């Protein structure tokens, strides 16, 4: 599996250091608020697990799974809910956890959805931000790293459902996606 990686963009150590820093910031901002931390399946799960361990105040956690509609629908920004929250968000402080913001469609939809459902506040923490990919105007409140417009995998991010279990973020060798 590691042979398929052209270069490592963010090492395990860099990811851990940033996750600790983000956890400290989130701890300070959410002390006493008991936020609902919402992981967006599946990409966020490795980051979510590591981030939660660095947050030193009470939180609750829940998950959502969503998927974008087909390409013909891209301009609508519509996403389909595959798994909804188990938790009622009315009056709650919501912290959405994502692995990456690319076009911004997923997060724009979710942020609007939670506001519509009368959350008290909605903030976003994303490990990676790819500003060049942006189609919808959305910014995260906490960003780990900006990444270039390359196909990145690992630490939750997949190519055709593989590579999520890499402990670092890397760039795939072009022949891997060209051979399909
Ligand atoms: C990826 C990623 C984000 C989203 C970002 O998820 O994990 O959730 O795309 O893209 P956007 O900003 O253009 O909406 P994907 O839909 O591939 O599902 P996955 O997390 O299960 O891999
Ligand atoms: Mn995702
Ligand atoms: Mg994916």
Report CA-CA distances (Å) from 38 to 54, 56, 69, 128, 177.
16, 17, 21, 16, 31
Ligand 1 binding pocket includes 19 (Cβ within 6 Å): no
Centre a 10 Å sphere on the Cβ of residue 75 and count the other Cβ atoms it contains: 10
pLDDT at 71: 55
Pocket test for ligand 1, best of 46, 71, 106 (most atoms within 8 A of CB): 106
Categorize the per-residue pLDDT at 70 as very low, low, confident or very high, splitting at 50, 70 and 90: low
pLDDT 10s digits, 87-126: 999 999 999 999 999 999 999 999 999 999 999 999 999 9
pLDDT 10s digits, 17-53: 999 999 999 999 999 999 999 999 999 999 999 999 9
| Residue whose CA lies nearest to ligand 1 atom number 6 | 43
Determine whether 137 is an active site residue.
Answer: no
HSE toward the beta carbon, residue 159, CA cutoff 13 A: 22
Q: What sections of 57-127 are H helices per DSSP?
A: 105-116
Task: Residue 117: give the domain boundaries.
Answer: 2-69+76-178
Ligand 1 binding pocket includes 108 (Cβ within 6 Å): no
Structurally, how many domains does the chain consist of? 1
Centre a 10 Å sphere on the Cβ of residue 146 and count the other Cβ atoms it contains: 10
Report CA-CA distances (Å) from 23 to 14, 64, 70, 88, 144.
14, 21, 35, 24, 11
Cis amide bond preceding 25, omega within 30? no
- Cα of 165 vs centre of ligand 2, distance in Å, is 14
* CATH classification at residue 140: 3.40.50.2020
- Please provide residue 44's backbone torsions phi and psi, each rounded to the nearest 5 degrees: -80, -5
Tell me which residue of 173, 44, 56 sits closest to 96, measured CA to CA.
44
Ligand 1 binding pocket includes 105 (Cβ within 6 Å): yes
Looking at the chain, the whole-number percentage of residues with pLDDT higher than 90 is: 90
Say if residues 103 and 136 touch (Cβ distance below 8 Å).
yes
pTM of the entire predicted model? 0.95
Kindly name the residue from 50, 93, 99, 102 that is annotated as catalytic. 102
Atom of ligand 1 nearest to the CA of 161: 22
Atom of ligand 1 nearest to the CA of 136: 12
């Amino acid at each position: 599996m590691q042979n398929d990686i052209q270069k490592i963009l963010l090492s395990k150590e860099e990811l851990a250091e940033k996750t600790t820093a983000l956890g400290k910031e989130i701890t300070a901002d959410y002390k006493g608020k008991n936020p609902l931390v919402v992981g967006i399946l599946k990409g966020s799960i490795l980051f979510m697990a590591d981030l939660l361990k660095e947050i030193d105040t009470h939180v609750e956690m829940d998950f959502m799974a969503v998927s974008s509609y087909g390409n013909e629908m891209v301009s609508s920004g519509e996403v389909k809910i595959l798994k909804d929250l188990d938790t009622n968000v009315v009056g709650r402080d919501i912290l959405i956890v994502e692995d990456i913001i690319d076009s911004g469609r997923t997060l724009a939809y979710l942020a609007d959805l939670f506001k519509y459902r009368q959350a008290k506040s909605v903030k976003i923490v994303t490990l990676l931000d790819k500003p060049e990919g942006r189609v919808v105007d959305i910014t995260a409140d906490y960003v780990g790293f900006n990444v270039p417009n390359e196909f990145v995998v690992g630490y939750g991010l997949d190519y055709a459902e593989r590579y999520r279990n890499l402990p670092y973020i890397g760039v795939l060798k072009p022949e891997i996606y060209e051979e399909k």
